[in-house]
Amino acid sequence: MKFTVDPGAIEQESMAIIEKNVPSLALLPAREQSIVKRIIHTTGDFNIAPLVKIHPQAVERGLAAIHRGCTIFTDVNMVLAGLNNKKLTEFGVQAICRIADPSVAAEATRTGQTRAMVTMRQAGALQGDIVVIGNAPTALFTLCAMIEQGEADPALVIGTPVGFVGASESKELLVSLNKVPYITVQGTRGGSTIAASIVNALLYM
């Protein structure tokens, strides 16, 4: 069996297949197309395209934050592991995940919160930064509360927590706030790989 081994050719062919099978992508602005194609490429699922919801200012605000050398806060290390380190370094962007910090674990035990909730609270005002939540609905619920209460003002929230308990609801809450630009995937689908793919799509721009 013959198969393609050139990474560039594989990606180019993959994107062509995506465009052929999801013609509705042509209706989106070019940069939003890039994000949705990355998500489809990551999941291998054409049907996820209509579930992707992108705030009108999301791309602009995200790119501006990256060019400023913002900090990217992630809820879990799996998101962190999926980010393109070469691009992060190129733009002077620091990516952080504190889920495994002993102080986070201690605070979670003391308060009865999840560690993901504690990491959001400990992140501070997040002024002009990008928050990427790919796993924990409790992190997104907490961040939404911080935004609503004026305690946090990130440049962009990428919220794609996955699962059957709270994931869909947390993303609905993010969209309903309409106080910060967001990129999300509606419903129960999501995950760390999708969250990382969205960040990388922005970095590649």
Tens of pLDDT, residues 36-54 = 999 999 999 999 999 999 9
Which residues are bridge partners to 182 per DSSP?
A: 157
Q: What integer pLDDT is reported at residue 9 of this predicted model? A: 82
Predicted confidence at residue 61, as pLDDT, reads 98
Q: Cα–Cα distances in Å, from 98 out to 103, 172, 204?
A: 9, 25, 25
Whether this model's pTM surpasses 0.85:
yes
Q: What is the pLDDT of residue 33?
A: 97
| Rg from Cα positions in the chain | 17
Q: Which of 9-23, 87-101, 131-145 bottoms out in mean pLDDT, i.e. has the lowest?
A: 9-23
Nearest CA to 159 out of 199, 204, 121, 113 is that of 199
Question: Distance between CA atoms of 149 and 87, rounded to whole angstroms?
Answer: 33
What was the pLDDT predicted at 5?
66
Residues designated catalytic: 41
Tally the C-alpha atoms within 13 A of residue 185's C-alpha that lie toward its C-beta. Answer: 29
Tell me the C-alpha distance between 141 and 35, whole Å: 24
Q: Give the pLDDT mean for 149-177.
A: 97
Average pLDDT, the chain: 95
Per-residue model confidence as pLDDT tens digits over 53-107: 999 999 999 999 999 999 999 999 999 999 999 999 999 999 999 999 999 999 9
Q: What is the pLDDT of residue 94?
A: 97
Domains of the chain: 48-204 (3.40.50.10230)
Whether the per-residue pLDDT at 7 is higher than 90: the answer is no
Of 6-10, 25-29, 70-74, 156-160, the one with minimum mean pLDDT is 6-10
pLDDT reported for residue 23: 94
Q: What are phi and psi of 168, to 5 degrees?
A: -60, -45
